[in-house]
Structure 1
Amino acid sequence: MKGIFHFAAQSSVPLSLKNFYKSSANNIESSLKVFEFSKKFSVPVVYASSSAIYGNLPIGNDQKEKFSITSPYAQDKLTVEYYAKTLFEVFKISSVGLRLFNVYGPGQRSNSPYSAVIPIFINRMLKKLSVVINGGFQTRDFVYVEDVVDVMLMSMK
């Protein structure tokens, strides 16, 4: 085994608000188990963090070490990043956390609590329904799932 890819998480911000203990226990404990396994076998970890840790920072203000935690989910992801840093500082086990933004691609469902905006918009357009953009002043960053896979694979090298 050359490394571990860790994508497991409860990733719904609304669900983290509704039941933050269960959500946080899942996200943090599963990550700690992955890190423990990586330590045991001395292999690196590439894991999914989240853009959620930036919260509502102004556009262009997402520099390193600047956060705006607005949900338990965001706090979970930041906590996992700090554990990953500790894993390296104490045990010299490398990890890479990617702060993913809105990942989209084939197979996404528009009726899931984890739905991203693109499948919701596509579903509404196919049904000839209006697409509500909430005033038109929002800014979003999207990344295609195959690009994420490429970066994850490169990060493991």
Structure 2
Amino acid sequence: MHNPTRNTIEQRRAFLKHAGLGCGSLALTSLLHQEGVIAATPERSNPLAERSSHFEPKAKAIIWLFQTGSPSQVDTFDHKPELGKRDGTPLAGADPKTGFFTTSGKCLKSPFKWKQHGESGAWTSEIFLEISKHVDDIAFVYSC
């Protein structure tokens, strides 16, 4: 049986525990700094200062794409065939008791067609036709 009072108490306790640990860590850092235990060395006083690498650099150039506000990964480079199979079905795992999903909804597949390209067989959608010609020269990083 769902008991909202018990969940609220447990959530409050967990919040206070984590907040207390965070405040304690801040206090410990301040105390250690006052004692000179974690004082920055003169060459490290500027965290943005250039410093030498541990290894000989090999890359000649890096292109970093931070795509905030960009097209969804489901419409670009992250092919999800299972999503296509579940298109229009209710979202599995939605539990109104947890409050994780605030509105009910259905699975929605990408409106674009997908194909594998290059020797690597990387999946790209039809919106990147030019990029799909170069998938073997691109590093795709799939992370959380």
TM over 0.5: no
TM-score by length of 1: 0.22
* Larger proportion of strand: 1
* Larger proportion of helix: 1
TM-score by length of 2: 0.23
